[in-house]
Amino acid sequence: MPSAHDDQGLRGVRQRTIGTARRGRVSASIACCALVAALACAPASPSTRPQPSGPSADSARAAIRDSAARDSVARASAARDSVARADAAREARRAADRREADRREAARRDAARVATERAAREAAARDSARRALARRRVAGAAARPRAPGEVRLCAGGDVSLGTNIDTSWTALAAKRLKHPVPALVDPDSLLFALRPLVADADIVLLNVEGAVGDGPAPRKCGPRSTGCFALRQPPAVAGALRRFGGDAIVVGNVANNHARDAGLPGFAETQRRLDDAGVLITGADTMATVVVTPAGDTIAFLGFSSSAVPDVRDTAAVRRHVARAVAAWGRVVVTAHLGAEGAGAQRTRNADERYFGAGRGNPVAFARAALDAGAAMVIGHGPHVMRAIEWRDGRLVAYSLGNLATYGPFVLRDPLDRGAILCASLGTDGRAADVVVQSTRQERPGVPAPDPAARAARLIDQLGRADFPRTGARVNAAGQVRPPR
């Protein structure tokens, strides 16, 4: 049987159990209250949020559907526009490629046509020059045999067969001509078509417009210069000038404003290369250059310019130098680089001329000083256009023979594309006979050929009548030069 002590123990256990249970119920009540409060404060989930109902809810849902549909249509339209733009861009590129291909093909055809036409013109010009030369030889043989001691001289104007200092001109030339333009070409090819015009010459006189050489050179023109040209021809030009004369002796004048374009060392190189090629040089100093023909006849040349000594503007010095040469050698031909330049410089005035502010001398005063000192003939160049020929007491003054062969950065618009070769037979007394002007013309960028239209000869005749009514030479359609009547 349990004792009293045991009963007290059981009652204690029950009391503790009851207290624990009561405390558990209180904690559960508190937790339940907290849960209810949390649920009351938390936002309702979409599944538990009350759904709208009624007409306004239907309108909202319809608006949402319409907005979604419009967005879908806009996206589809944007996609179609993007595809269309891409297709248009591809088609534009293909069209541009086709146009570029057509342009290149047209340029190729134009270049081929121009080359064919040029070759045909050159061939016709060469044939014309040969026929004219043959006629002159037959007529000359029939009319007047060559006198003892007579020398046949043929003179041309400016010759510059490319420049290796500044080749930037080729970009503009290619744009104008619509085909690539080489900076340098074979110099013999540039002169080939003109060779028949000097076939009967004993001596050929040319103005070498520019230095001759290669390698480094001092800068002549400033970075912003617009009226400055630096001309240095490649070394092969020296030999080409010599071969141009054929069996004749070739004299090159270096008294001009471009012979020193490569500096003083370049000027020395120019003389060395010309001398090595067999070209006689005049104009490097005040001493006359003496030429002895195969027949043993002598004739001297003296070159002047406004850019160096001897200077065309110092007419007293001109008289002195020419008189000294005449006293020593008898027949003296004076050549000079003088006068203004350009299309507006065709007229010859008895006045000082200027170009870009620089004095270029008085051509008439210079010529008369040379003739008064005993010169047999005066050959001018420098204006780059044709000028009159004056016939004074049986002696000739050609004030400018224009551009003969100027390949490169030269302006060759009419009348600057016209040139001529003047041929005359000089007797022992210095008198000129059988004088003829053979007209030439250049195709850009400086390819010369005989001109069947004889435009230069007609210009000389017109200018002679206008500038020297009493003494201007008369030139007929065949290029024959006569004294005024």
Non-local CB neighbours of 455 within 8 Å, separated by 6+ positions: 415, 418, 439, 441
Q: What is the pLDDT of residue 65?
A: 87
Q: What is the pLDDT of residues 256-294, one digit of tens each?
A: 999 999 999 999 999 999 999 999 999 999 999 999 988
* Unique residue bearing structure tokens 């020593």: 328
Q: What is the pLDDT of residue 384?
A: 97
Q: What is the pLDDT of residue 45?
A: 46
CATH 3.40.710.10 corresponds to the domain 147-220+228-482: no
pTM above 0.75, yes or no: no
Q: What is the pLDDT of residue 420?
A: 98
Tell how strand 481-482 and strand 474-475 pair up. Answer: antiparallel
Non-local CB neighbours of 147 within 8 Å, separated by 6+ positions: 427, 428
- Residue 339's region, left for phi above 0, alpha for psi from -120 to 50, else beta, is left
Strand, helix or coil for residue 397: strand
Report which DSSP code applies to 147.
P
- Taking residue 406's Cβ as centre, other Cβ atoms within 10 Å add up to 28
Which parts of the chain register pLDDT below 50? 1-14, 16-48, 138-143
Q: What is the pLDDT of residue 132?
A: 60
